[in-house]
Chain A
Amino acid sequence: MAAPVARARQHVRVVPLRKVADGIRTDPIRVASSMSSEATPDQPPSPERPPAGGDLVVRHRFATRLWHWVNVVALVVMLMSGLMIFNAHPRLYWGQYGANPDPAWFEIGSRGDQGFARLGSLQISTTGVLGVWRDSTGNIQHRAFPRWATIPSSYSLADARIWHLAFAWLLALGLLAFMIASLINRHFRRDLTISRADIRPSHIWHDIKQHARLRFPTGAAALRYNILQKLSYIGVIFILLPLIIFTGLTLSPAMASSWGWLLDLFGGRQSARSLHFLAAAGLVGFALVHVVMVLLAGPYNEVRSMISGRYRLPRDKGQRR
């Protein structure tokens, strides 16, 4: 099945998205169509035709693609080493202080051979998964998160910290570099800026319905993020990631000394620790939805577009194959 791609490379002049996006707004688009066996367009390739379903276009810029895969590594390591760090004290508090004698709003623990997770006064049994589980040799372990969810897999707070605090640099500097690059290459302005039309309630409702029915945009419309995508990406790039980085910094006693405003901003070190955990949960939620959407939208095309940048615009319903 590699043939169409190879042929596409030979026959298709791939158009950078920047030009495509400019073209949509102003000029007649210059895009070539694929001549591959699986995509024979209705019209012959023409430099004047706007992009349509079946066209192979460059969708993601290099900075976006690089950052995406750096983040896959950084976030997986941060999450799994973070869960191990959580295992050292699996309780969360609000305020400046919080330790075992103080009330925790969230807790994973065990009583005897029963594991549990408790949120406020709501407690559920999690034996086998959280709190109490069996390790690879069949021995029962009394730790919050199980071995398959942590780095390293056997309990070591010191090792998890070594991973977490090294990859934190990759995550934070990666975000900073991506933000600078996306200002320069205008990725933020072009793709993430919310227009007035985007936030019309009828438009938002329409997008929600389309998502719920798993109807994805086709043709040139697939080049633009819809409002739900924009809100998710804005939420991750400008809210969740900065939140997790700055709450993480607040946990450092030296940073909390140099930048005392961090303690005021988040309402104390233990509040920052709770927010750090909640932001991580938010990122996990985003990643799960993100992966499901990629699988539903066509994983080959979507993953390719994040590796080489090339993306075949989905065909309109009824468009000839």
Chain B
Amino acid sequence: MIRRRSLLGGLALGGSGLLLSGCDKLNASPGFRNLLEGAEQLHYRSQRLLGGGAALAREYGRADMSPLFRTNGNRTPASLAYAALAENNFIDWRLVVDGLVARPLRLSLADLGRLPQRAQITRHDCVEGWSAIGKWQGPQLAAILRAAGLSSRANFIVFHCADDFGGVPYYESIDLNDAFHPQTILAILMNDHRLPVPHGAPVRLRVERQLGYKHAKFVMRVEARERIDDLYLGKGGYWEDRADYAWYAGI
């Protein structure tokens, strides 16, 4: 019995050491990673199925809003062109809407303000774990895509941003279900004021059923595309390309 006990004890000790190095090895193994990352498709399909793709994110009252909405990611784009736009209160800024559309658009902030507005007090969930509640207002992305005449070949909407990390521009992409979701807006107001620069002035995407890194800030161009695997590193977004964050960030 003594020998069995010491054997079990030895196995437990050795096991914990093996566990650590084993998990790191598995983590680096492309085959195993592919297997684990396969769960993203399960999340995407099951969550689209459950919500029917139409569920609305919780909207809150004024009393529920965060006293201070923290910022994350780039606080301000580094480019001189952006600095010049910001200097002039974005009067010269134009949102380019192109790609697979019948009528490419160039919209000013005033144009966006003239479109029917949607205001929503929603919860921003960062991938890191924190949440902040704020009020966002702007035109629905759906209205802009309809105005531009979205092609039936388009499957994804890509958001090209003014900010970059070490020269690599930030971008994000969503599917058409999210693009035409009623709460998906191009926010030009936050908490009833013009969007502050740290929160993505002049325009930030709100895609309320996904995590914060999908909510592209400093949006300069909205591009409709058939596919996203031929763009940058092919994973559909800056963090997806750079750090293997999931493209579908509903969880």
Query: What A residues does B5 contact at CB under 8 A?
Result: 299-300
B115 CB-CB contact with A under 8 Å: no
Within 8 A of A (CB), among B195-251: 208-211, 239, 243-246, 249-251
- B132 near A252 with CB under 8 A, answer no
Selected from A151, A157, A158, A254, the residue in CB contact (under 8 A) with B51 is: A254
Report the nearest A residue to B129, measured CB to CB: A89
How far does the alpha carbon of A166 sit from the alpha carbon of B64 in the complex, in Å?
33
B42 CB-CB contact with A under 8 Å: yes
Q: Assuming A88-B128, A99-B70, A100-B130, is B27 touching A253 (CB within 8 A)?
A: no
B168 CB-CB contact with A under 8 Å: no
Within 8 A of B (CB), among A42-81: 76-77, 80
Please name 23 pairs of A and B residues whose Cβ atoms are closer than 8 Å in the assembled complex, sorted by A. Answer: A1-B3, A76-B19, A89-B126, A89-B128, A96-B131, A97-B66, A97-B123, A100-B70, A101-B66, A148-B20, A151-B23, A158-B245, A162-B37, A165-B43, A168-B39, A251-B125, A251-B251, A253-B211, A254-B55, A256-B123, A257-B51, A299-B8, A300-B8
A137 CB-CB contact with B under 8 Å: no
- A101 near B68 with CB under 8 A, answer yes
Binary interface profile of A, 162-206, with partner B (CB < 8 Å = 1, else 0)? Answer: 110110110000000000000000000000000000000000000
Given contact pairs A162-B36, A300-B4, A300-B8, enumerate 14 new A-B contacts (beta carbons under 8 Å). Answer: A88-B129, A98-B130, A102-B68, A153-B20, A153-B24, A158-B245, A161-B245, A162-B39, A169-B39, A253-B211, A254-B43, A254-B251, A260-B58, A269-B131
- A270 near B27 with CB under 8 A, answer no
- A165 near B66 with CB under 8 A, answer no
Report the nearest B residue to A303, measured CB to CB: B8
How far does the alpha carbon of A98 sit from the alpha carbon of B129 in the complex, in Å?
9
Interface size class of B (residues with CB under 8 A): 35 or more
Number of A-B contacts (CB under 8 A): 152
B18 CB-CB contact with A under 8 Å: no
A258 CB-CB contact with B under 8 Å: yes
Q: Tell me the smallest distance from the CB of B188 to a CB of chain A, in Å.
A: 22
Report the nearest A residue to B47, measured CB to CB: A254
Q: Tell me the smallest distance from the CB of A259 to a CB of chain B, in Å.
A: 7
